[in-house]
Amino acid sequence: MTSVAEVRLALEQSCELLRDAYRSVREAQSALDEAVDLLADAGANHPEPLVPDGFAKARERFADELDLIVRSLDLVQRLAVEL
């Protein structure tokens, strides 16, 4: 049988992993933003845009992914408090 202490530990580990995921997504977001800016600058005088369409879509999705991580972290933290 699993003890409450073991469940709390698992929840704490989950929280840490979610925090790590949040930081990683933010870093990826910053790196993509930088790449898009560099490509946009490099393509200023180019007849066709150098920034792939998928990059714009990816930039839009970051907010949703970050929100999902934050909401998940909140739920896990609330569950840990309720134990």
Q: How many CB atoms lie within 10 A of CB 18?
A: 20
- Tokens linked to 16: 């840490």
Q: How many beta carbons lie within 10 A of that of residue 73, not counting itself?
A: 18
Closest by CA to 9, choosing from 54, 17, 63, 25, is: 17
User: CA-CA distances (angstroms) from residue 71 to 13, 15, 52, 59?
Assistant: 16, 11, 30, 20
How far does Cα 36 stand from its chain's mean position?
Answer: 18
pLDDT tens-digit readout, 14-64: 999 999 999 999 999 999 999 999 999 988 888 888 899 899 889 889 999
Residue ranges per structural domain of the chain: 4-82
Q: In this predicted structure, what is the pLDDT of residue 1?
A: 64
